[in-house]
Chain A
Amino acid sequence: MMDVETFRQEARSWLDANMARRDPLDDRLNRTIEEWTPEYLAEQRVLQKRLHEGGYAGISWPEKYGGRGLTAAHDQAFVEEAREFAMPDFGVAGGTTHMVCMPTILQHASEDFLFRHVPKVLDGEELICQFFSEPEAGSDLAGVRTRAERDGDRWILNGGKIWSSGAYYSQYGMCLARTNWDVPKHRGLTWFLVPVDAPGVTIQRIHQINGNSEFCQEFFDDVVLTDDDVIGEVDHGWRVTQTMLVYERGGGRPTVLKPTSDSKLPADMVDLIRRVDRTDDPVARQLVARAAITDFAQACLGARIATKFKQGALDAALAGYVKLAHGIYDPIRGRIGMEIGGAASLTWADDDPDGVSPSIGYLNGRILSIAGGTNEMQRNAIGERVLGLPREPSFDTNKPFAEVVRNARNWSGQVG
């Protein structure tokens, strides 16, 4: 196998010869795409195909499906080299496809399934969003109620999903459904790959508090699926879910650490304190420093956890520290932006993108406290799996799920 440094050199030359450099202005203004148009997606598919043909798509994925068959270290090296170049940008659906769904699918799906889907993913023709959470089940992922019922050699899917980022521009959703209601909740689950354009699938955009509509809600009315769409084994979907959760928490994801620089103050905070003319205000300076410190502390934490994984730490719950740190400090950072700016953070001119920025940071500040595993779920995992604290009683793990749903609203607090 090619060693990492040789691969890095090869990647560097190829990128130089084949890809355009990023526009630094885009980074500075934090420009993000808000609407994924077919035209923009077509442009990205061209870039993705070029990457695939060059041998830089699916670097750590098996060769037989079109990947390069190398290691996570090679992945990491490529991410570092590609930093200055304009890479295919599929947004959040790109993230769910490459960082969560495909790594999980590669570990659990049949060969036939992989031959059908992996090459198309590598070419950018298939994006896979997450059909995980439901209006009735978020933290309690094993408590999903979307049902898949056997009908001859078909499966009929009914129910709904929510918080699926980028579903409106994806081709598939990786869907967790209940296939057995008479066993405890963890034992009756199955994963399906659902085509978003299948008859019976309705996708609605969710209007978010920050004004965007990146998240979607889906409704399934008698959607027909086959055994070819099953990922892993029927009723044994929880095993697949546990793999998926590790990836969702960032386990195995290549990280690009912020390079050390002379200025450690975050650009957005410095801009803000200058804009409101509070650079001499000790109170405002303390707030800027607090934001700088927790930003840097989180970067150091990421490096520390990555080192632990590299050294062979086995429990993915360690990645929960990084997530929990975001979930605790992002809301605080959002508040700092409001506090420094005062009136200038609370109100702004219609056409001022910098003016609206602190309030967007504030409204979005709690996303990571809730999405991808709430602070409370991270605390449970850290407490039990890292600190070894005893589990709390569970009142639903051993009962048939149909019974759990029936009794949930009669909770009296007295058990046994």
Chain B
Amino acid sequence: MDIDRSDDQELFVQTSERFMESTWPLTTVRDHLDQHGDAGADYWRKAAELGWFALLVSEEDGGGSVSDDGVYDAALLAYTRGQYLQPGPFVGTNVMAATLSASGSDAQRTEVLPALIAGEAAATWAAVGSPADQDPTAGVRYRPDGNGYRLSGSKVLVQDADRADWLLVTATGDDGPAQFLVARGSSGLVVTPRDGLDVTRRFCDVVFDDLAVPTSATVGHPGADTAADVERQLQLASVLTVAESVGAMRHDVELATQYAKDRVAFGRPIGSFQAVKHLLADTSLLVELSTGLVDAAARAVGNGDPAAGQITSMAKAYVGDAGIDLVQNCFQVFGGIGYTWEHDQHLYLRRLTTDAALYGDPAWHRERLCQLAGL
């Protein structure tokens, strides 16, 4: 992630970093905690101009990436975003764009996709059904109805469902898994923004109250084709979420390490005490292991490695737990000041704890690994 970048990738990351620093730095993140990360349309459009939503889209569809591995480029960008606790449905928009480009209908590719790429519209993936069943197909059922379908059920942890223009909804039914494009404001779509641990982002409960969708809203072909789309989406969402997490992890441990050099007690910097030094060494090891994993996961997905499902689940499971361990350790290094609102430590704690649960928590991914490996 942070080593072995091409010059083009380095330039892309630096340009994006300058954008984040000038448009939505941590002080701005902090100023907008009440709004749970609503950066507005201007931020989104400017990000699109940098290419943030084109990376997973084919060139024929108007996309493009920095290297010949768009997934890796997107992961690099996500890693940087995570350091800065950036807002908005970056993962959802990119996942939807990838699927529309690969499996969308002509109409979807000409009418919906360009707006996503241009940052005129944002998208989110309604994936997790409930804490009891985290499979993306759980929570919502579809049934045929006239010249369309009816969707019933609910999803949780849907990021920015109240702000995104489009929801990509994964559902199950008689023909197997199916996915649908649902526009914000649709009749029968009940979006309830939730208050939450992560004050830098907004998550919603979404209820589908016998919501009617036309056949044209179907994304791809229900059954095995959709199952393949969903698998790829899960891999992409895992990689991008893990990459954001690893960026956040690196920043938090750097803050804590600097604190250990600055803070004096018993006549010397507290980092000179073995208890603190060893805690930070172990914590930095978590970052190194996590970075190695997200690198492998991004490459595996980008290269179409048959083991990509296993590798992304391994990364998601490990980094989910490691991120929480890290923020708890850094909290301990900071001592009392880490318990104050004004210090950034809790923002990283909130973010990383939430990341662990998105698109499947560590235990769910460990079980998925076993299944994919044939156990």
Residues of A within 8 A of B (CB): 260-265, 270, 273, 279, 282, 285-286, 288-290, 292-294, 296-298, 300-301, 303-305, 307-308, 311, 321, 324-325, 328, 376, 378-380, 382-384, 386-393
Q: A264-B310, A304-B288 are in contact. Are A270 and B280 (CB under 8 A)?
A: no
Whole-angstrom CA separation of A279 from B305 in the bound complex:
26
Residues of B within 8 A of A292 (CB): 314, 369, 373
A contacts with B: majority SS: helix
Q: Mark B350-375, 1 if CB is under 8 A from A, else 0.
A: 00000000000001001101100111
A386–B287 CA distance with the chains assembled, in angstroms: 13
Instruction: Report the separation of the CA atoms of residues A365 and B236 in the bound assembly, to the nearest whole angstrom.
Output: 36
* Minimum C-beta distance from B333 to chain A (A): 11
Asked if A383 and B306 sit within 8 Å, CB to CB, the answer is no
Q: Tell me which residues across on chain B come within 8 A of A305, comparing CB atoms.
A: 288
- Who on chain B is nearest to A387 by CB? B257
Q: Which residue of A lies closest to B307 (CB)?
A: A262
Pairwise interchain contact B292-A285, C-beta atoms closer than 8 A: no
Give, as a whole number of angstroms, the nearest-CB distance from B372 to chain A: 8
Q: Are A300 and B370 in contact, CB atoms less than 8 angstroms apart?
A: no
Kindly provide the distance from the CB of A318 to the nearest chain B CB, expressed in whole angstroms: 9
B260–A301 touching, CB < 8 Å: no
Residues on B with beta carbons closer than 8 Å to the beta carbon of A379: 274, 277-278, 281-282
A313: nearest residue on chain B (CB-CB)?
Answer: B3
Q: Is the CB of B281 within 8 A of A303?
A: no
Chain B residue, CB-CB nearest to A261 = B307
**Are A288 and B375 CB-contacts (below 8 A) given A307-B4, A380-B277, A383-B277?**
yes
CB-CB under 8 A from B370, the residues of chain A are 265, 285, 288-289
Pick from A285, A300, A324: contact of B285, CB below 8 A: A324
B6 to chain A minimum Cβ distance, whole angstroms, is 13
Interface range for B: 35 or more
A265 near B278 with CB under 8 A, answer no
Most chain A CB atoms below 10 A, which of B274, B284, B292: B292
Q: CA A261 – CA B373 in complex, angstroms?
A: 10
A-B contact pairs, 6 of them (CB 8 A): A264-B310, A297-B293, A300-B295, A379-B282, A380-B281, A383-B281
Given A264-B373, A288-B375, A289-B369, A387:B296 Cβ within 8 A:
no
Closest Cβ of chain A: how far from B195's Cβ, in Å?
31
Known contacts A263-B373, A289-B369, A392-B274, then 12 further A-B pairs from the complex at CB < 8 Å, ordered by chain A residue: A260-B305, A265-B369, A270-B375, A293-B366, A300-B289, A307-B4, A311-B4, A383-B271, A386-B281, A389-B261, A389-B276, A390-B269
| Contacting pair A293 B317 (CB below 8 A) | yes
Which A residues are CB-close (under 8 A) to B296?
296, 300, 303
Contacts of B375 in A (CB 8 A): 265, 270, 273, 279, 285, 288
Are A300's CB and B293's CB within 8 A? yes
